[in-house]
């Protein structure tokens, strides 16, 4: 389940977990609405230790700007406190799998 991030402080605190996925979007993005539950289900089933966070780019433009997010949707994957992958607009669940499979195994095995 996605946890909503509203402040930069919450964002920085979230990056302290070993594996984090941030989903940036807003309410008026139809692609985002369709993709978000699919990403949530996919990550929960395949990578249960990855923490999921949601950032509304309209309500929290400071977080979006700080992370150079200027389109929707954007997925940022943080591993060990650093951004390791960024996907924007058009990407597949396979892209997420390829980005997470090996690092996840190393971190959580």
In the chain the domains, ranked by start, together with CATH numbers, are 3-108 (3.40.30.10)
The H or E element containing residue 29 is none
Phi, psi of 17 (to 5 degrees): -70, 150
Res. 74: pLDDT tops 90: yes
* Prediction pTM value: 0.93
Nearest C-alpha neighbor of 89 from the set 68, 70, 66: 70
Contact 51, 2 (CB under 8 A): no
Q: Quick one: pLDDT band at residue 89, thresholds 50, 70, 90?
A: confident
pLDDT in tens, 20-65: 999 999 988 888 888 999 999 999 999 999 999 999 999 999 999 9
């Amino acid at each position: 389940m996605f946890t909503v991030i509203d402040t930069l402080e919450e964002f920085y605190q979230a990056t302290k977990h070993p594996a984090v996925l941030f989903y940036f979007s807003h309410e008026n993005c139809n692609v985002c609405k369709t993709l978000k539950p699919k990403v949530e289900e996919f990550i929960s089933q395949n990578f249960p230790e990855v923490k999921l966070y949601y950032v509304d780019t309209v309500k929290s433009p400071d977080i979006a700007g700080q992370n150079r997010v200027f389109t929707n949707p954007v997925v940022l994957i943080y591993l060990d406190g650093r951004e390791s992958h960024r996907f924007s607009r058009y990407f597949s669940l396979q892209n997420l799998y390829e980005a997470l499979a090996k690092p996840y195994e190393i971190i959580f095995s």
